[in-house]
Amino acid sequence: MATTDDSFDGMCEWCGSCDSETLHQISIQMRTESSETENAQFSREPYRVAECQRCGDRSSKRMNDR
């Protein structure tokens, strides 16, 4: 028998707005960095997006930065 689990899986991370560790929703977004339409498909980069589930503050970081 299949069961469903409606609980939210997130990660606890530091939130600067809340000034504490809070539950965050994490996602990966592909963003186009070129303003030129001709080569836009070649300028997509992955970004890690974290959104605090307490205050809604959102931060993103380019994943290919060193």
Query: Does residue 2 fall inside a structural domain?
Result: no
For residue 8, the model assigns a pLDDT of 60
What pLDDT digit, counting tens, does each position of 41-57 carry? 677 889 999 999 999 99
Domain count of the chain?
Answer: 1
Cβ neighbour number for residue 31 with a 10 Å cutoff: 12
Residue 66: which domain range? 25-33+42-66
Q: Is residue 52 part of a domain?
A: yes
- Cα dist from 65 to 6, 33, 42, whole Å: 35, 14, 17
- In terms of Cα–Cα distance, which of 6, 18, 53, 48 is closest to 30? 48
Provide the 3-class DSSP secondary structure of residue 13.
Answer: strand
Average pLDDT score, the chain: 84
In a domain, 49, yes or no: yes
